[in-house]
Amino acid sequence: MSARKRIASGLDNLPQSLLCDILSFLPIKFAATTSVLSKSWRYAWAFSPNLSFRYDEGVDGAPVGGWIRYALKYKVLDLEIQIYILNNWSGPPRDVFVSKELVRLEIGTGDCCIIDLEGDCNLPSLKILRLDDVQFKDGCTGLLKLLSSCPVLEELAMVDMRWHDWDVCYDNASKYPTTNFDKLVWAKLKLGRKAKQEEEENVAGDVTDFWKVISNVEILVLKSETLEVLTEDHMPVFKNLSQLTIEKKTGPKLKWESLQSLLNNSPNLETLFLKVTNHASWRFGQPLQKVSKKFECGEDKESFMEDVKQFLEEVEMTFEEE
């Protein structure tokens, strides 16, 4: 038997479960190329438990919903949908939000579509949820409905999520009794008001209930803009929070009152990371400047707060002088 045949024979004898595990580490377009390896590999890529869709401008999105439904039919576990510009695209099909098998779901849509969560929403196995610039038909109420359907969520990332009226959202919160996320370990959030005009009209509203939902988190990463919608007067207690990271760009000042309240309401906080990036350096053709510092949280809260505030002021002054 030739060496080539011996290799092909060995590949054919691999169990189907192992093939799927191997293919799960490959992007779908590379996984499909393995169909030429041997007979048992010919269609193995189609049963990969992970599926990722990324589309460019000008592509017809009509068949995408069918492809996603097909993957869900075969119990896909990891689904990533990053579609920001696509013709004839009405958003992820309803089947995505009632999948009993999905463990990880990542959605990025921008202005490409508005997600309609009308009807049932149930994701009993979902452990990781990442939303990037996603808009819901019912605004923040749609978000609450989605979160309430994820009882075992462990990781939550929400980036560039903006709504024009948080008050309306939480007036309707009782419709969707959101879980307290007892298993939530990690969360990354970048929230903000939708537009400068709305900020001037002060319609950002009270997002207290949302912070209560995630107050069991152990590791929290916040973009500094998020502190703008974090109400210091009604801050929940983050009793499990052990590590906090604040990521800030130079320019707008950080809302110190909200950060101070968050730190005071995190009794078990052990470590604080402050990361400041000077994006203005790009305009002058220089490498992106970053400064970060790690703070160990001791019993002397007053000194700790002073050190944090002093660091932020010094970094801003340094970048301004440059």
Of 8-22, 26-40, 168-182, 225-239, the range with the lowest mean pLDDT is 168-182
- Strand-pair category, 271-278 with 289-296: antiparallel
Q: How confident is the model at residue 321 (pLDDT cuts 50, 70, 90)?
A: low
Closest listed residue to residue 58, CA positions, set 84, 81, 80, 91: 84
**Separation between Cα atoms, residue 44 and residue 31, nearest integer Å:** 9
Model confidence at 181: pLDDT above 70: yes
pLDDT of residue 171: 44
Mean pLDDT of 283-289: 65
Q: Which long-range contacts (CB under 8 A, 24 or more apart) does 253-260 make?
A: 253/316, 254/224, 254/227, 254/312, 255/224, 255/227, 255/228, 255/230, 256/309, 256/312, 257/232, 258/227, 258/228, 258/230, 258/231, 258/232, 259/227, 259/308, 260/232, 260/305
* Most confident residue range from 138-142, 229-233, 238-242: 238-242
Residue type, 308: V
pLDDT digits (tens, 9 = 90+) for 63-118: 888 888 988 988 889 998 888 777 777 888 999 999 999 999 999 887 777 888 88
pLDDT of residue 166: 47
Query: Other CB atoms closer than 10 Å to residue 178's CB: what's the count?
Result: 20
pLDDT of residue 227: 86
pLDDT of residue 147: 86
pLDDT digits (tens, 9 = 90+) for 104-157: 999 988 777 788 888 889 999 999 999 988 888 776 677 878 888 999 999 999
Position with higher pLDDT, 248 vs 48: 248
Query: Other CB atoms closer than 10 Å to residue 299's CB: what's the count?
Result: 6
Q: How confident is the model at residue 254 (pLDDT cuts 50, 70, 90)?
A: confident
| CB-CB contact of 293 with 306 (8 Å) | no
**Separation between Cα atoms, residue 285 and residue 308, nearest integer Å:** 30
